[in-house]
Amino acid sequence: MSRNGNCWDNAVTERFFKTLKAELLWRQALSTRQEVEQAITLYINNFYNAQRRHSALQWKSPLDHEHNVA
């Protein structure tokens, strides 16, 4: 964390982990570390980065946004 008034905080990271917990971890009962790692990897690669709509992208998925920009 930075001093008060500087923009070097970790709000983006905190928001991502809150979303990860709310959309994935709190909805499932995962019993082993391996299951958690696999679920998080699949969530990030197959859903969050590919399909999930983001407000910063005018509510488009990252893949849709990349196709429209390119």
Closest CA relative to residue 51, chosen from 41, 64, 39: 64
Q: What pLDDT does residue 6 have?
A: 63
**Residue 61 exposed, middle or buried by CB count within 10 Å (0-12, 13-18, 19+):** middle
Token pair 């590919």 is found at 50
Domain regions of the chain by residue span: 11-69
pLDDT by residue for the chain (70 residues), tens only, comes to 556 666 666 777 888 899 889 988 888 888 899 999 999 999 888 888 778 887 888 888 888 888 888 6
Looking at residue 38, its pLDDT comes to: 93
pLDDT value for 15 = 85
Q: What pTM was computed for the model?
A: 0.64
pLDDT for the residue numbered 14: 85
Round to whole Å and give the CA distance between 1 and 34.
31
- Cβ contact 43:27 at 8 Å: no
